[in-house]
Structure 1
Amino acid sequence: MALAAILSSGPAGAAACLAAEATALRRLNALYRTPAEFDDWDDLTGLPDCCSWPRVTCDARGRVELFDKPLFIEVGRIDGVVDLAILAPLTELRELDLSFNRINGFYSSTGLYGLQKIEKLHLHRNNLSDNGVIEFVRNLTSITELRIDGNQLRTTDWIANLTTLETLDMSYNHLQEMNGICHLNRLKSLKLQMNGIGDGVVGCFHNMKLQELDISNNLLTGNIGQDILNLSEIQSLQLGYNHFTGHSKVLEILDLSNNRLEGVIPESLTAFPSALSYLILSDNDLQGGVLPKDSAMFHLRHLDLENNHLTGHLPPELTMSTELLILNVNNNMLSGTIPNWLFSPTELQELRIILFKGNHLKGSVPDRWCSSRNLHILDLSYNSLSGNIPDCLSDLVGVYFSNPRKIIFNESYGPLAKQSHEDSMNITTKGTSMLYKGLPLELFIGIDFSMNNLTGNIPPNMGFVPGLKSLNLSFNHLRGTIPETFQNSLTLESLDLSYNYINGNIPSELTQLCSLSVFNVAHNNLSGEVPSEGQFPTFDKSFFEGNQDLCGQAVEKKCPASNKSFGFISGESSMKMDTMDSPIIYWSFIFGSFATGFWATIAVLVWNASLREKWFNAVDHLITC
């Protein structure tokens, strides 16, 4: 718990602080347990001038200007209730932070609460209820910022008097209404996410100049209020995880995911001059095309339309979004072919992630795909693509890894956001759909062409894709052999080639892939012995099933061209072992050779000074590398 007092500006002076302020600081120090680095206050009882104390700054009048001593309530000493009479002498206090404690409420043993000049009050992450905080907060008529998130609040009527508020965070409470908040016309930032608000929203914002509004994860229903649509200064609007049935207007950030939105995406949302950079409309019931005709979203960076009922072709208007980084239209009903303009090196140059899973796309994978040098996640699974895989995919991510730019996944989610927002998405790899976000997502390189009608051979160049972690080509009609070039994919963690018509042997070179944890080649036409080194002993037997001509330990089948079964020498062969193969003679030879070589080397080093110096220099170099 940190406490800070900020006064009107003035040069530091030599005047002593007021005796009452010094007494207040001593009482605070006695009542609260502090970190070890602030124990230097315990020996200051003989110094009446608190302006000379560490971490206390005074102005020319001798009034405390800044007090940044972190405080922590000593549980049990004041029973979770703070006596504000202790703070009363600090009449110029402007900022008070009592967050991350177990405070249940406030009282004043003298009947005086004081603190009338408080401008910023942080009470988040405590155990405050309405009764425990009302008497303290309701009369702070100068307050501009109040953080009281992460408590046990249920009502908002008591906050209506705080008309000077500009920033209010009441998220992660138990609010069911927001009546008192509707009177706060100066608000610029309002966060109410993760409550139980079900009504009282419509008409609440008509006099506000909000720039940031987050009412996501509540129980709001019906159409989005016109007052929200008319927020002329809004920059960040998050309404996700409610039960809205309307739509919103042009913004910089719009998140309406996981609602019940129906109909088409309105033209007013995407028409010029759209300022949208994030448009998140996933998990709704939207219909129609991906974008309205004549859309012009020049600043769009992230478009997420996953899990809707969108139809038609990918609109060429997307080429105007030259800053686009992420395009997610998974699980819709898009048809037609994949357009060449999507991979133009002169238009969508920044595109990093394309997710087209679960649509009705046909045709082939365009050869021009290889011009998209920055692309590092490609998901075309569960479509009806046909033809060969272009033999040029080694160029896809070369530029990204030679000059990586961290501009995707750790951006601030909106110009007023206090914390970093991490994009996240579900990616199917290792046979499981997993949530990736932050640095793991930023470093993930994956290609998924599964569940299509692709034919031909696996291009050898796929083994040279830099940083490739996951490759899924399962459930196609691929033929030919497994390219030995996969031995170069040292970062590969998952390789799924199952349910194809691949023949030949499993290349022994794949045993060099130390990161490989999934290698699924089930239901192909493979033959020969399954390698038994490297990661292969850890693979499940099911990864090799449906290949009648495979043999070896992995499939528990003896190889016909060998006299060994599962690595053991047959009893008949062992009976005929030659005397020279006796273990005693073998190890005697080994130790004898080692001893002879060792002492011969020592003798040479002792008698040859020049060679001895070179030897020790070489050893020293190896140790220091």
Structure 2
Amino acid sequence: MTLTDPVKSVTLLSVSKVICSFSLLCIATADDAAFMSKLAKALTPTPSGWSATSFCSWTGVDCSANRVISINIASQSLTGTLPPDLNSLSHLTSLYLQGNALYGALPSLAYLSMLESVYLDGNNFTSIPDGCFQGLTNLQSLSMTDSINLAPWAIPTDLTQSSNLVKLDLGNANLVGTLPDVFDSFVSLQELCLSCNNLTGGLPKTFAGSGIQNLWLNSQKDGFGFSGIIEVLASMTHLSQVWLHKNLFTGPIPDLSNCTTLFDLQLRDNQLTGVVPPSLMSLSSLQNVSLDNNVLQGPVPSFGKGVKVTLNGVNSFCRKDAGPCDSRVTTLLDIAKDFGYSLQLARSWTGNDPCGDWSFVVCAAGKIITVNLAKQNLTGTISPAFANLTDLRNLYLNNNNLGGSIPGGLTTLAQLEVLDVSYNNLSGDVPKFPTKVKFNTAGNALLGHSGGGGGSGTTPSNGSGDAPSGSPNAASGGSSLSPSWIAGIVVIAVFFVAVVVFVFCKCHAKNRHGKVGRVNNLENGKEVVPSFGDENVTMSINFFGK
């Protein structure tokens, strides 16, 4: 071998690499050419400007190094079915097919790792293959609005691989089911449109802290709709436009004071309750807000000048005009707040006179003397605001799902006669009530144990300790003896048992000793009883019947 042989080897290797790369490029280019040829034949009519030999010169087709990187044939009234091997265009970065009448199954887009933008709106696609959106690691925009012929489908979790996604627009696309709680994967998401579908369930917890600016979840179709509370909005500080109208949301409007760029808030046609927060009315960025057809309570909200507000339809404001509510109404709404503004209470507690026809409230001479909220499936906690009903005699909160502790302020109710909090999930210390109060705490396994919440209780117990005989508290309150009395009784009992055992053992031992001393005279067959000179032995034997 000569010195030039290594040089020849390197040269041959380089040439082979070039030939191999060129061959792969030719194969890939041939794949692109084959697909584009099939696409041209599948579309009716053939898109304008697609008659040239080279597909890279077709109108709406962009190439780089003879590889297709973009197809834009939007709004050309095209029909036909797309070839299934669309993902053979491995260099494709954008696909614009919106505004046509394409039908059949959507071809898979899986593993088009360079794909950034996909617009398929307003076509007649009927199905989406499994795994269609896998491996789209560079996807930034996906829009499929008004895809009304799609078979029912759920938001694919495959999209979590698209961490660069900025826009997801799937409005009116026959989506069903609930939103997957995966939005912490979409760190770049700014626009989410899921309007006019068949979606249900609550808002995902992973909305919190997201960068979403435009959130459109409105107008879910008849029989469907998002539900639950909307508290998560308070931590979505980048929000600009929120459309949640025509759903089944309940609970109060959260404090949105940190959403400093929010200008459009559409909440109409839900079942929202509670008082409109003052922080919303003072939000300087707000321009449009709709609160129609909810069950909102408290005073009529007053927004700043220049804010377009609609409040038409059903609501439960205490007055028809601006101004404060009656103090009794304010107190009862404070109480309802700690119950999460129950929808049932909101529907029945309307107007500005709780002594009119408010459910669960009994009055005498315009003063609230009884509140009976037993068995109303209430959640939340017992409000300290009950202490503001200074004429209250009877309070029934039994058989609900209330947690936390019993507010110590209830002990200040001078007229209170009955307090029934039995069969809830209460915990913490138990306040000491006057002996006249019939106080029922049965069925609260954790009551009397620390760590239950913000009550200012006294010594843990299951009741007042002075409940009358036969009352629920008397039945469930346990022994009235203090621990020191119990300990003393135990000590005396143990001492007494010890004395009895000692006497028994001593006497039994002496008796046994006497039996051992009794021996037979083997010579004459007579029994000999030894004399011990101790009268106690005889007495002991006689005592035990020996």
> Normalization by structure 2: what TM-score?
0.47
